[in-house]
Copies of this chain bind each other. A is one copy, B any other.
Amino acid sequence: MLLYNLGSILSAMPRNRREEILLAALDVFGERGYTGASIAAVAERVGLSQQGVLHYFPSKDRLLAEVLRLRDERGLDVIALGNSGGTVTLDTISAIIDYNRERRGIVQSFTVLSAESVLDDHPAADFFRDRYRESREWMADLIRAECGPDLPGGVTPEQAAPLLLAVMDGLQQQWLLSPDDVDMPGLFRAFLALLRANVPPPAGD
């Protein structure tokens, strides 16, 4: 579910130490997972001591929270940026996935963190639970607007929405493991083709 989370934010030069740390932390979380990551590793990446990082963020949990908050704040801009002025469509999302293929680190960070969040008492659980809920609603609206209320096979937009998010997540998972075997953008477009297939409704109507 890497929708808001595009990489363009990260390529920008960090303005201050705080932000520098947040960017490094996102990288490290993506490489080792939240549990496996250490504050010291983040510190090393920005040329600080571990306590230097703790000066800006009082705990590892808070650091994670701020990393996620940063993506939330900035990510919405990116979608607006992706199709300047127009409405978001399924093709916009498709374009985002195209772009994601070149930002493996970011994809991995969010895939890892969201998957890890299902662990017992994980500090990011609420974040991702809310995020999925919002995304499902948003996607259902988007699908209905584009495909109408009736999808092939009698599927509803409310059903298609979690399926679409699942496809995004699942494809990222497979792509991260075998980038050469899995054509993530092509497969996502194939899924869109399933949604948009013109199939005569089974019975009357």
Contacts and interface: CB of A to CB of B under 8 A. Distances in A.
Nearest to A151: B194
A165 interface: yes
A147 B108 CA distance: 34
Contacts of A78: none
Interface in A144-168: 151-156, 159-160, 162-163, 165-168
Given A153-B193, A194-B195, A112 B108 contact: no
A64 to B, nearest CB: 14
Interface in A139-196: 151-156, 159-160, 162-163, 165-171, 173-174, 176-178, 181-182, 186-187, 190-196
Contact of A129 (B167, B178, B186): B178
A48 interface: no
A75 interface: no
Interface residues of A, number: 57
A182 B166 CA distance: 11
Given A152-B152, A178-B132, A190 B118 contact: no
14 contacts: A33-B33, A33-B35, A35-B36, A114-B173, A118-B176, A129-B177, A132-B178, A152-B152, A156-B190, A159-B186, A162-B182, A162-B187, A163-B167, A194-B197
Copies in the complex: 2
Contacts of A112: 115-116, 118-119
Nearest to A126: B177
